[in-house]
Amino acid sequence: MTFELTKDYLDRIQTAIDIGDEQTLRAEMDELYPADISGILYELETDSARYLLSLLDRGVGAEILANLDESDRGKFIASFTSKDLAPFVDQMDSDDAVDLLNEQSIQVREEVIGLLEDREQARFILDLLHYDEDVAGGLMQKELVKINVNTNVNQCIEEIRQQAENVEKVYAVYVVDEAGKLLGFVSLKKIVLARKYAKIADIYEDDVVSVETYRPVTEVAEIMRKYDLDAVPVVNVQGRLLGRITIDDVVDVITEQAEDDLQAISGLSGEVEEDDTIWVRAKAQLPWLIAGAMGSLMAATVINGFQHELSKVAALAAFIPIIGSTGGNVGIQTASLIVQSLADTSGLTATLGQRLLRTLVLALLNGAVVGLIAGCYTLLIGEPRLFPVVGLSLLAVVMLASFMGTVTPLLLSKIGINPAVASGPFITTANDLIGIGVYFLIADFLLAEL
């Protein structure tokens, strides 16, 4: 049964904290998963949350700290001393420990490492600290089970028993040679079913998928998705096994990337949450809102420049909204498809010419249909002279918006900028401006005799 955090339950926990009822708090927390306890900690004041955390098993506390959002974790452990932090870091997977320590000052980082009781954990952390967080080396954990290719199944089982004590999840046993070079892997199923004196060399699989330490984490995520992997080994340029990346870490990367893309598409700069302060949320929204407002003011300037046409045919103003909204919608739709294709690195990639040709054909079809529908509406309202103006304008706007929606994310990707931003207010505002300009230029040309 899933846990539901209610106000009454939270009040009971807060009351137990206030009176120091450790027995009740421990009994309540023993019934919950770490993720559920995290939800409680989010709702408590910092002092109360710290007190509750101090009552938990160190392993559970370490898991909770490892899974807290970076900003929340920073506030939560701000008053922790290095001595307070070290026992939790001792219990974490090495990759989670490095993530936490990278958020601390150099002094705290070195003090915590020096206080760790598990010196192998300290060595793992030191090995990982020099990798950037956006490459495979920064995402991997050192804990894994490996076996020499020259051993037999019986020896392998003994090694698993010894090594697996510090490994939370064992998906497979990696096979290495004398120099530590990755040769392949052997599944737990094969080990269980094999004769105990069978050679590992005879049963391991050598078609292992691995990644180098310098591979971007987005590429690692794509490789694991493509090959449906629960874990992927990480090697150096010589092929020596250094660690592994598990699916839970990749899910975190994918989730974070999706959140960043969604915020970019929504026109938010930086990371922002619903419960952030008004000032933080304003700073994230204002840059794009100001940019959008400037674009709208420029569009108003364009409209103002065609007052003569509006004075001759007032009905022209009625079609300004459809021109702007159609261009914005088409631009976002096209850009979203391009961004999606850029994110999916599997399969064949179309050339720029092929993309533009497909975009042109689709835009001609869409523009013709939308333009015809809008043109027919001009007949219904008794403005037949606007039929060619509105129809041709919508055709041109759809084609221009499709072109921009295709080219803009490709150019942004080429120069190293997140192409997801191309699907936000930038394209919408640009298409509004271009669409309105095209609309009035066509109107000026076709209605020149009036």
pLDDT tens, position by position, 357-394: 888 888 889 989 998 998 898 888 888 888 998 899 99
β-bridge mates for residue 174, sequence order: 146, 185
Sign of CA dihedral 376, 379, 384, 389: negative
pLDDT tens, position by position, 193-211: 988 889 999 999 999 999 9
For residues 128 and 96, is the Cβ–Cβ distance under 8 A?
A: no
Lowest mean pLDDT among 111-115, 160-164, 208-212, 279-283: 279-283
Q: Tell me how many degrees the CA angle 159-167-111 measures, rounded to the nearest 5.
A: 120
Q: Which fold has domain 146-254?
A: CBS-domain (3.10.580)
Return the pLDDT at 234: 95
- Residue 144 corresponds to which tokens in the numbers above? 């894994």
**Average pLDDT rounded to a whole number, residues 5-25:** 90
- Rg, C-alpha atoms of the chain: 30
- What is the edge-to-edge ordering of all strands in the sheet holding 211-212? 211-212, 231-235, 241-246
Return the pLDDT at 249: 82
Return the pLDDT at 78: 80
Does 425 score more than 70 pLDDT? no
The reported pTM is: 0.62
CATH code that applies to domain 278-446:
1.10.357.20
Q: Is 28 helix (H, G, I), strand (E, B) or coil?
A: helix
C-alpha dihedral, 339 to 280 to 61 to 19, nearest 10°: -150
Return the pLDDT at 200: 92
Distance, in Å, from the CA atom of 89 to the CA atom of 59, rounded to the nearest integer, reads: 10
- Residue 294 corresponds to which tokens in the numbers above? 């400037």
Q: 369 or 79: whose pLDDT is higher?
A: 369
**What amino acid is encoded at 341 in this protein?**
S
Lowest mean pLDDT among 56-70, 278-292, 433-447: 278-292
CATH code that applies to domain 7-130:
1.25.60.10
Return the pLDDT at 178: 92
Domain range list for the chain? 7-130, 146-254, 278-446
Distance, in Å, from the CA atom of 301 to the CA atom of 432, rounded to the nearest integer, reads: 12
Structure letter (DSSP) for residue 105: -
User: Which residue bears the tokens 């007949």?
Assistant: 379
**What amino acid is encoded at 264 in this protein?**
A
Does 239 score more than 90 pLDDT? yes
